[in-house]
Structure 1
Amino acid sequence: MEFMNKVREMAKEDIRRIVLPEGDEERTLKASEIIKKQGLAHVILVGPESAIKENAKNLSVNLEGIEIVDPETSEKTQEYSNAFYELRKKKGMTEEKALQTIKDPMYYGAMMVKCGDADGMVSGAVHPTGDLLRAGLQTVKTAPGISVVSSFFLMQVPDCTYGEDGFLLFSDCAVNPNPTAEQLASIAISTAENAKNLCKIEPRVAMLSFSTMGSASHELVDKVKEATRIAKEQRPDLMIDGELQLDAAIVDKVASLKAPNSKVAGKANVLIFPDLQAGNIGYKLVQRFAKAEAVGPVCQGFAKPINDLSRGCSVEDIVNVVALTAVQAQNN
């Protein structure tokens, strides 16, 4: 994807420290060497030091210039444990449990980000999404004014004029099963910010539904209408409109008939789906039928960049997500 080449170049401009808490995993090790060679980030591998070095040796991975941190022996472990205890003591956390938890590389990595010793974290080659979200929400927490962590996919559709010459952001396709109107508004704002800061495009955000501007009446439509109202009220500087059917959102001729007064309709480059079923199905349909490249899911809404990987990810996927996380950190 041409966009990812641009992201890699942006990552090189201001090197950021990105922690990978699955430090002894094969694809992660191979990706770390590439990231180092290309100068995309300063990589910090977290995990058992002996296992990391042994696996790297077996894979012929050169670890020179790559930082390794073992939570079992790190001088920072007690400091992070104390900080984590303070964050969670009102939730019933004990000092003993805090120390045990911080020795988990996922939580150790998240606390590195929380405490400013790393600029972002990428995980998920081994762990399910829920593990990463839990660690992130218990440590880094959400950004000010953002009520929910969500995700987006970067979609590049070949030979396509919709969006930005076939480039669009789809959200939320991976995290929130049934967001409230308030959460949907927050997702729209977060995705618009990423369109501006990460993708360097002017966001035109469509709040998708099976109705366009009142063409149908249903409680599901009402939720999208309310989410649109909230998003516009909170961020009047952004171009956000809805509710819009998909064709009205991206096709000029349809938009001129269904939503002639909208500045977004027919020109949307950010598509906000009303729930996870629609979003997940939608991005996979476009990926398979239109042979689109889909990069993600990229997480958004955390106070600092934390990103997820698919457990079926490739080495290149990890490199790409680390580069994306580094650029997010530059804009944080």
Structure 2
Amino acid sequence: MNVAIVGGTGYGAVELLRFLYNHPHVKVAKIISHSNSGIPFSEVYPHLTNIVDLEMEALDVENLAKEVDVVFFATPSNVSKHVIPSLIDLGVKCIDLSGDFRLRDGGLYKSYYGEDIAEETYIQQAVYGLCEINRQEIKEASLIANPGCYPTATTLGIIPALSKGIIDKKQIIIDAKTGTTGAGRSLAQGFHFSEMQENFKAYKLGVHKHIPEIEQVLSDVANTELQVTFTPHVVPMTRGIMSTIYVDLKEKLSTKEAINLYKEFYRNDPFVRIREEGTIPQTKEVFGSNYCDIGLYVDERTGKLIIVSVIDNLVKGASGQAIQNLNIMNGWDETTGLTQLPIYP
């Protein structure tokens, strides 16, 4: 199968290439970058010299549709919504790593993303690509809205407890941290080495664009409108997300019982690993991999369940999950091309 990547110079694109390079069913036929058309991809990423020989091209929708079966969009927000409809109409499947098709509410999209939402026809067609939850819908989809990084770590951490009805839906507090690649490759003063080194900061309190995405997913699971308290932080590391979640238990539960509940919930999900009692995951333990590791602790003194969920933001939080979606869409083994061991240390 021939695939293309649109948005060729970003971290999402190079991670897609890293995994697709050894995927047995896929050939990356085109890399699209309007600003770098005519430039070899290895000139932007020299570590791929003599490995990836593709030259980046400008976007031509009609020619692209003739040459590839699936297009990955590793673009900033408010880009893919202008291109994907034409590709879908031409019979090309699309997996969008941006946020253009994740939200269903146009007002919320305008509020958090600053522009009008995509056409309603395509919003309705889009399947939210949280693989462990929407596997059946993904199998039939032509357009995948690949989840955001924070929402992936957070919702995978909360959904089992929420779906089993063991927590108070009105009290969900999320304290999340990300590495600097979460901001993308574009230059920004706040992410310069001298600004980030030996620093740790909260940002976008109350206005982060992943808030409505998290609430939409959890509301669907709970069958009622939910709100969460979400505080994102950036820490001086390259990759990784740790989402620490605090919820109030509705009934007495031990840590061991909570772990068993989560293990049962994710028993058929190869990329979610539930830690044993007394072991809390670290971001380093999923570095470079498509795993989501979850640790649990019941604080019997306060009646709270503390959930720690970690992912690599560029893999399970973006490109790895996109390939996992590709595998499901095509009826391939879900782990195809994604079985690399985490990188440690």
TM range (shorter): 0.3 to 0.5
- Name whichever structure is richer in strand by fraction: 2
Using the size of structure 2 for normalisation, the TM-score is: 0.34
- Name whichever structure is richer in helix by fraction: 1
Larger Rg: 1
Using the size of structure 1 for normalisation, the TM-score is: 0.35
